Amino acid sequence: MTERRAEGGPPEDSGRPGRRYVIRGGAVMSMDPNVGDFATADVLVEGGKIVEIRPDIRAESAGEIDARGRVVLPGFVDTHHHLFETAERAFLANGLLLDDHSGSPSAQPNYGEHILQGFARAYRPADVYVNSLFGGLSQLDAGVTTVLDVSQIHHSPEHTDAAIQALVDTGRRSAFGFFEGDGRTGARYPEDAYRIRDRWFSSNDRLVTMVMGGELHLGRQVYTRAWAIARELDLKIAAHAVGSWGMRPVFDDLAQGTAGVEVGPDNLFIHMTGMSDRTWRRLRDAGAQVSLAFPIEMTMRHGTPPILKLRELGMEPSLSSDVETTMAADPFTLMRSAMTMQRMIVNQMILDQGDLVPPGNWPTPAPGTPELLTVRDVLRYATINGAKHLGLDGRTGTLTPGKEADIVLLDATALNVAPLNSVPGAIVSLMDRTNVETVIVAGKVRKWKGRLLDVDLARLRRELETSRDHLFAAMNLKQDLFAWS
Residues that bind Zn ion (CB under 5 A): 322
Burial class (CB in 10 A: 0-12, 13-18, 19+), 262: exposed
In the complex with Zn ion, which residue's Cβ is closer, 145 or 326? 326
Residue number with the smallest Cβ distance to Zn ion: 322
In the complex with Zn ion, which residue's Cβ is closer, 322 or 411? 322
- Distance CA(259)–CA(252), nearest Å, equals 8
In the complex with Zn ion, which residue's Cβ is closer, 112 or 363? 112
- Closest approach, Cβ 150 to Zn ion, in A, equals 5
Respond yes or no on whether the N-terminal peptide bond of residue 190 is cis (omega within 30° of 0). Answer: yes
In the complex with Zn ion, which residue's Cβ is closer, 30 or 152? 152
Helix (H, G, I), strand (E, B) or coil at 440: strand
- Closest approach, Cβ 240 to Zn ion, in A, equals 5
- Closest approach, Cβ 331 to Zn ion, in A, equals 17
In the complex with Zn ion, which residue's Cβ is closer, 14 or 291? 291
- Closest approach, Cβ 78 to Zn ion, in A, equals 11
β-pairing, 76-81 with 144-151? parallel
- Distance CA(291)–CA(270), nearest Å, equals 5
In the complex with Zn ion, which residue's Cβ is closer, 10 or 109? 109
Contact 216, 239 (CB under 8 A): yes
- Distance CA(415)–CA(435), nearest Å, equals 10
In the complex with Zn ion, which residue's Cβ is closer, 21 or 119? 119
- Closest approach, Cβ 211 to Zn ion, in A, equals 13
- Distance CA(190)–CA(183), nearest Å, equals 10
Query: What DSSP line would sit under 231-260, residue for residue?
Result: HHTT-EEEEEEEGGGT-HHHHHHHHHT-SS
- Closest approach, Cβ 297 to Zn ion, in A, equals 10
Residues pairing with 241 in the sheet: 271
In the complex with Zn ion, which residue's Cβ is closer, 300 or 378? 300
- Closest approach, Cβ 317 to Zn ion, in A, equals 14
- Closest approach, Cβ 299 to Zn ion, in A, equals 14
In the complex with Zn ion, which residue's Cβ is closer, 38 or 294? 294
Burial string for 41-66 (b: 16+ CB within 10 Å, else e) reads bbbbbbbbbbbebeeebebeebbbbe
- Closest approach, Cβ 327 to Zn ion, in A, equals 12
- Distance CA(50)–CA(201), nearest Å, equals 24
Contact 80, 297 (CB under 8 A): no
| CA diameter of the chain | 71
In the complex with Zn ion, which residue's Cβ is closer, 297 or 322? 322
Residues with Cβ < 8 Å from 406, sequence gap 6 or more? 74, 75, 145, 146, 173, 395, 396, 440, 441, 442
Could you give the C-alpha distances from 92 to 56, 137, 473, in angstroms and in order?
A: 50, 21, 17
Q: Dihedral of the CA atoms 451, 455, 456, 459 (nearest 10)? A: -120
- Closest approach, Cβ 81 to Zn ion, in A, equals 8
Count of C-beta atoms within a 10 Å radius of residue 81 = 26
